Amino acid sequence: MIERLVRKLNARDAITPEEEDALRGLISTTETIPAKKVLVARREKLRHSVILLDGLMCRYRDLHNGRRQITALHLPGDFPDLHGYTLHYLDQDVMALTRSEVAFVPHDRLDRLMDQFPRLTRLLWFLTNLDAAIHREWEVSLGQRSGPAKAAHLFCELHTRFSVLGLAEDTAFPLPMSQTELGECLGLTFVHTNRILRTLRERGLADFRNRTVVIRDMAGLKALAEFDPAYLYLNRHAG
């Protein structure tokens, strides 16, 4: 059930069996969410948070001109709205990009966890801070990187994050979203996103097709993106 979450946490800090049990005990129920469904609406009062068990989710914001910015992508093991525990409502919508499995975590169980497991509490706090670190790196991409570098950087990030979960191959990972949605992550229109994907393909760097990203030249892709994974906090023994 929570294997992905444990795997994600273990990549950062050792989890004891007791803590793993405590995490398991957080879950009340699970549910299957159809693609395109908004799971948590902006401003909605929250009494539970959600662990993504399987599938792909995002957080986003719509603007009046019809454009949308996706501000976060969530992989299995992520806690897309854990911040809702302290914020009480979300500032953005959470949507399933694909059919997804989620587990509900009532906030009163988090209250109890905070009393009994300070170390685990700090780990959950860490998870929300990791989330924020990814937001910051996206700010850098959105503000400063060139179109191709934006796409390259996102591919590098996702390859790393999927690898941690054991869900990526050496040079490929699933990315079940449309070019429109990819563009909404990168701050680009789908037309321009399509052109950028073509340049990455023509330069022999990466290929996004059939909902899968194939990396042809990892070093070149990382160089174009100036990818530095420090913000993913994977250095369990260095940090």
Which segment (16-24, 50-58, 140-148, 193-201) binds a second copy by CB under 8 A? 140-148
CB 109 within 8 A of CB 26: yes
Tokens of 94: 């959470």
Tokens of 167: 């869900």
Query: Which residues here bind DNA, judged by CB under 7 A?
Result: 65, 146-147, 178-180, 187-192, 194-198, 209-210
CB 16 within 8 A of CB 77: no
| CA nearest neighbour of 26 among 57, 44, 53 | 53
Can residue 92 be called a binding residue for a second copy (CB under 8 A)? Answer: yes
Nearer to a second copy, 4 or 153 (CB): 153
33: amino acid identity, one letter = I
Residue 3 phi/psi, 5-degree rounding, is -55, -45
Give the binding-site size for a second copy (rule: CB under 8 A): 51
Nearer to DNA, 124 or 186 (CB): 186
23 binds, among a second copy, DNA, none (CB under 5 to 8 A by kind): none
Residue 109 CB-half CA count within 13 A: 16
Q: Is 208 exposed, middle or buried (0-12, 13-18, 19+ CB in 10 A)?
A: buried
Q: Exactly one of 10, 16, 28, 86 binds a second copy (CB under 8 A); which one?
A: 86
76 binds, among DNA, a second copy, none (CB under 5 to 8 A by kind): none
Spatial strand order in the sheet of 38-40: 38-40, 93-96, 57-62, 68-74
Least spacing, CB of residue 138 vs DNA, in Å: 15
Nearer to DNA, 85 or 138 (CB): 138
Helices 118-144 and 107-116: angle between axes, nearest 10 degrees: 120
Which of helix, strand or coil describes residue 11? coil
Which segment (19-27, 29-37, 64-72, 209-217) binds a second copy by CB under 8 A? 64-72
Can residue 237 be called a binding residue for a second copy (CB under 8 A)? Answer: no
1 binds, among DNA, a second copy, none (CB under 5 to 8 A by kind): none
b/e map 48-63, b = 16+ CB within 10 Å: bbbbbbbbbbbbbeee
190 binds, among a second copy, DNA, none (CB under 5 to 8 A by kind): DNA
Which residues contact a second copy (rule: CB under 8 A)?
42-43, 45, 59, 61, 63-64, 67-69, 71-72, 83, 85-89, 91-92, 114-115, 118, 121-123, 125-126, 128-133, 135-140, 142-145, 186-187, 226, 230-231, 233, 239
